[in-house]
Amino acid sequence: MLRVKKKHLYCIALILVIIVILLFLRCCNGSESIGIMDDDVPLADAFDLTIDENAGERSDVSQEEIVDELNRKVTDGVITISMNLAPVFSDGSAEGNLLIVNENSNNYPQVVQIFENSTGRKLYESGLIPIGQAVEQARLDERLSAGTYPCTACFYNVDPESGQSLGMAAASIKIVVLH
């Protein structure tokens, strides 16, 4: 088995988190309320840029302990997503091959929602998918006519005790309805 240094694993985890954040921002890009992402809005117009009077160095922990804590949080928050990117349904009410998998590498159960990009309507919502389990076939929650539908599949890590979302990753998919 290939041995990978711990430092490289942290770098990979950090890159994955950045990708997840970028995908999340892409999903939210259509929202009018997120004006801060506009390049035309200077940060000084959106934030108070004076130094916070409570800001200061952390004296109770070393730099190494801070890095270790941040790396642990990054590792805990990584979401691996896996599904068919082009599920096919024979008709609008038939089961299709979603092939959603909550990979063993994840730390939490997942819930998956699929939204149609052009309308924003939710076409599908899974139940809680335990770690290491899959939803191979499922019906959509909305009946669709024949056609191809660009969609976004959102994967939520869920705290099984509180039911709260602990993070989200998204993927672009195309649902195909044949008849």
Name the residue ranges covered by the structural domains of the chain: 6-77, 88-177
- The rounded distance, in Å, linking the Cα atoms of 48 and 28 is 24
Q: Identify the CA nearest to 111 among candidates 85, 92, 131.
A: 131
Residue count of the chain? 179
The more confidently predicted of residues 33 and 102 is 102
pLDDT at 134 over 50: yes
Q: Identify the CA nearest to 132 among candidates 107, 161, 159.
A: 107
Taking residues 150-175, report their average pLDDT: 94
pTM of the model: 0.64
pLDDT value at position 14?
A: 64
Structure-block tokens of residue 13: 């985890």
Q: Per CATH, which fold does 88-177 belong to?
A: Immunoglobulin-like (2.60.40)
pLDDT per residue as tens digits for the range 74-94 = 777 789 999 999 999 999 999
The more confidently predicted of residues 31 and 112 is 112
Taking residues 8-36, report their average pLDDT: 58
User: Crossing angle of helices 6-28/63-77, nearest 10°?
Assistant: 60
Structure-block tokens of residue 75: 């590792």
